[in-house]
Amino acid sequence: MAECTPLSQITNTTSSTGRGGRSWTQRQHTPYTRTPRSRRLTGQGKTVPLARTPQAPRTLSRIKELVNKTWRLYKVTPLYKFDVGSLRKYSRLLSAHLDAEYRKGIAVGVESEVADSARFSLFKGLKGASGDSDAIEITVKAKPKSGQGESKVVLSAILCSVQLPDDAFLFPESFTFLPVMMVKGGVGLTKQIVSWLEHQFDCHITHMSFSPYDLSWMVAMWGGCVPETNSKPVEMMYTVPKEVEGLSRITMTIDAKVCKELWDSIRDPTNNRFTEEEEAAFIKSLESHFFYHFKVKLTAMYLNRVVTSIAVVDSSGRIKFYSDDHVHRVLRHITEVAVEQIQQK
């Protein structure tokens, strides 16, 4: 669709800023990126809002709809020529595409519903900073095959970017960068929508998966966030390597209150960023507590799933938010990880 691949356009125009002083070109020649030494924990904090400035009304934000649902995460490369004004046109095009797929017989036959209409809309409340693009929501509704009854939402996808890190890509105006896509819906339908988006906007959408290292960062950063109501114990689930027959997983669940004590004792409260040393201290202290009691080396197992009071994340990219106050914080981190994973390619 595009004349030249957008990705090459991006690489040519980036400045040579990189994390820790490495230039972009240097990063291109090595297969690995350096793991970050510290990550943002709380908000940007650069501009402190004055007492008089009115806060954006919370009622407009639809963040509550994100909570308590399991979403699958995808990472999205920048979209070429995505115009926020032509959302209606995109809705029409996507509906036509889904209809055509169904008629071709490619659509998953077992579904009892026929995907009827797709709608693009703005999802308010997810923008983290002025540099972010507006979040877009795609809802696909379907009527039941019997023809009767109301059409209900079959799939819901949200493309968003929450506080892109400063040193991310700099790209020309024709690109919109919404690196995170959260999808809740059937697999077949998701595939169709992904292929349409890739075709229409010349981007690349892939599953987001988290390595055990990513998950350990998440549990270390959010293990200390305990909301007053509905606090859940912090849980880490490890899968055991296949050579060990008979044992498949080890789960360690820590009471929320004592986890917060541990987190506070490690943390340097003056620093806004969460450092690598703090993350290592958190994880290693828990693993050594485990080792003292069981003489089993948890460091050799794969961290597969992490549960905290504010979210549960697993290595295949499924996420569920528990607290609407902290959705921003979680999505900010997910955006950062998504940008890193895209840059690695």
Footprint of other proteins (CB under 8 A): 233, 240-241, 243-255, 257-258, 261-262, 264-266, 280-282, 284-290, 292-297, 300-301
Sign of the CA dihedral with 221 first, then 126, 316, and 171 last: negative
Which tokens is 35 given? 């793991």
By beta-carbon proximity to other proteins, the closer residue of 230 and 265 is 265
CB of 12 to other proteins, least distance (A): 45
Of the pair 85, 246, the CB lying nearest other proteins is at 246
Total count of residues recorded for the chain? 345
Comparison of 129 and 281: residue with beta carbon closer to other proteins: 281
Cα–Cα distance, 161 to 248 (Å, whole number): 36
Which CB atom, from 89 or from 297, has the smaller least distance to other proteins?
A: 297
- Least Å from the CB of residue 303 to other proteins: 15
Cα distances from 334 to residues 101, 172, 247, 329, in angstroms, run: 32, 24, 31, 9
Per-residue HEC secondary structure of 183-225 comes to: EECCHHHHHHHHHHHHHHHCCCEEECCCCHHHHHHHHHHHCCC
Identify which of residues 114 and 250 has a Cβ nearer to other proteins in the complex.
Answer: 250
Q: How far is the CB of 282 from other proteins (least distance, A)?
A: 7
C-alpha 240/C-alpha 97 separation (Å) is 44
| Least distance between other proteins and beta carbon 35 (Å) | 19
**Do 106 and 86 contact (CB within 8 A), yes or no?**
no
**Buried-exposed string 26-65: b where 16+ CB fall within 10 A, e elsewhere:** ebeeeeeeeebeebbbeeeeeeeeeeeeeeeeeeebebee
Helix 187-201 to helix 87-104 angle, to the nearest 10 degrees? 130
Q: Which of 118, 126, 112, 134 is nearest to 193 (CA)?
A: 118
Q: Residue 180 or residue 262: which is nearer to other proteins going by CB?
A: 262
Report, in Å, the least distance between residue 295 CB and other proteins: 4
Q: How far is the CB of 247 from other proteins (least distance, A)?
A: 3
Smallest separation, CB 302 to other proteins (Å): 12
Please, which residue, 189 or 266, has the CB nearer to other proteins?
A: 266
We find the least distance from the C-beta atom of residue 245 to other proteins, in angstroms, to be 6
Helix axes 256-266, 276-294, angle to 10 degrees: 130
Q: Which of 84, 319, 88, 74 is nearest to 193 (CA)?
A: 74
Of 3 and 243, which CB lies nearer to other proteins in the complex structure?
243
